[in-house]
Amino acid sequence: MLADKILNFIGGEYVATDKWFDNRTPISNAVIGQVAEAGKAEVDAAVAAARAALKGPWGTMPLARRVELLEALVAEINARFDEFLEAECADTGKPRSLASHIDIPRGAANFRVFADMIKNASTEFFEMATPDGSSCINYGYRRPVGVIGVICPWNLPLLLMTWKVGPALACGNTVVVKPSEETPRTAALLGEVMNKVGIPKGVYNVVHGFGPNSAGEFVTSHPDVDAITFTGETRTGEIINRAAAIGSRPVSLEMGGKNAAIVFADCDFDAAIEGTLRSAFANCGQVCLGTERVYVERPIFDSFVAAMKAGAEAMKIGVPDDAATDMGPLISKEHQEKVLSYCRLAVEEGATVVTGGGVPEMAGELKDGCWVQPTIWTGLPETARVIKEEIFGPCCHIAPFDTEAEVLEKANDNKYGLATAIWTRDVARANRVAQKMEVGISWVNSWFLRDLRTPFGGSKQSGIGREGGLHSLEFYTDLKNVCIKL
């Protein structure tokens, strides 16, 4: 049964406020709950609880016990898998088949990966001769950074939140999480799990609300928050970067993308089609790593466009519970309007609409949902706004290319630099192109194949810093050096 009142979680207690906002499901836009908006007082209380836990039971806990608790969290999330699934699907409308394979298992696995990582983390050691004929030894050791402000987006709510909270807690920090206002449920539910497994009160706090002049801004501008980690739009990241500058606090920014797929004529055609359909339309195109620009070598351009059109038109748009559903709705009416405005703009800019471009016909209460058809365009010039700007919907543009140099120039001609997918059987070429792409992550003959130990993050305006494996430990710990004269 879904809670219709979604509360803040502060110091191990659920906390209501006198200000509420609606929680809607995007499948019908119906209000399905009320969320307690945290004001300054609640954010102060959450930060104070996080500080107290850091100074108290969490800060003094032996690493082995902390690791046990993180492993217990994984087990408890898995034990309550269906509740997490229901909560995530209610907030996002995404297919259960997707959330049960990606969002919830990865949401849990993020704790295991970083529990393993911290158990095995090493630091540097150097011995140096000293002028007196003796020597000194240097060794590094890691301390938690402190209270971490965690600002999350709505597209993969549990997964992207625990991708930050997992390493933060593994490294001994405490957190104040501000989930997206669109998707508050799983972050709130995780509080129950924290209490059940015995994570000390105040280690994990959740404050609900919006960005400016609301919980987001109150967390990021709070002087007792020691570091901020953010995933969301580049525009918001810039505001958060400015907030973090006050007090010179470390900040990690995972931001927008306008990712290219590069498809060479020698690729495994079916694999390239399957991968590109997934990268353009999975999660209704609301994946930061998703493909919005597809460049296809001319000899296979027409057949590629035809196969993409057939694939897009075969996709079943529907509700989370229908096992046949391939694609759910966008997150909100506001986002639907944004994506549809790009559909109109594409036509104004001269695109040929290969398929989609509008709202699918849905029956009954679903009529009011935030649906958009899978959409493919061709024929736009590289200067078009639709080619340059992040849309974050189920849309892609497909363009032909003739040479490797030409496609590299086009694919890199963007302010974003998050990810790319390269499809070819020529390994030397794949390697060459991957190395020249101005992005943080390149996939060759795959997409979204994630080893959580690898560096994850964006180049250019897609981000600052890297998460994943040891890179997360770099952000969530303060590495110190001790020099001992022998």
Q: Binding residues for ligand NAD, per CB under 6 A?
A: 151-155, 160, 178, 180-181, 210-212, 216-217, 220, 231-233, 236, 239-240, 254-257, 288, 390, 392, 418, 458, 462-463
- To the query of whether residue 37 is one of the catalytic residues in this protein, the response is no
Q: Which helix (H) or strand (E) element contains residue 45?
A: helix 40-55
Choice between 118 and 151, CB closer to ligand NAD: 151
The alpha carbon of residue 330 and the mean position of all alpha carbons in its chain are separated, in whole angstroms, by: 16
Beta strands 251-254 and 147-151 are: unpaired
| Residue placing its CB nearer to ligand NAD in the complex, 414 or 424 | 414
Task: Find, among 237, 193, 101, the residue nearest to 156 by Cα.
Answer: 101
- The residue among 429 and 450 lying less far from ligand NAD, judged by its C-beta, is 450
CB 85 within 8 A of CB 104: yes
Q: How many CB atoms lie within 10 A of CB 19?
A: 14
Compute the distance between CA of residue 33 and CA of residue 181 in angstroms, rounded to an integer: 12
Secondary-structure percent of the chain, ordered helix, strand, coil, rounded to 5: 40, 25, 35
Among 22, 51, 48, 35, which Cα is nearest to 188's?
A: 35
SS3 382: coil
In the complex with ligand NAD, which residue's Cβ is closer, 84 or 392?
392
Whichever of 216 and 311 has its CB closer to ligand NAD, that residue is 216
134: phi then psi, degrees, rounded to nearest 5:
-100, -150
* Closest of 35, 418, 387 to residue 233, by C-alpha: 418
DSSP letter for each residue of 172-192: T-EEEEE--TT--HHHHHHHH
288 is catalytic: yes
Which residue number has the CB closest to ligand NAD? 211
Nearest CB to ligand NAD, comparing residues 267 and 294: 294
Nearer to ligand NAD, 131 or 212 (CB): 212
385 vs 365: CA distance, rounded Å: 34
Of 89, 267, 284, 288, which is the active-site residue?
288
* Rounded CA separation 346/426 (Å): 34
In order of 81, 86, 104, 289, the CA distances from 89 in angstroms are: 12, 5, 10, 21
> Can you tell me the distance from the alpha carbon of 475 to that of 149, in angstroms, rounded to the nearest whole number?
13
CA dist 51 and 148 (Å) reads 10
Phi, psi of 36 (to 5 degrees): -80, 115
Question: Which residues are identified as catalytic?
Answer: 254, 288
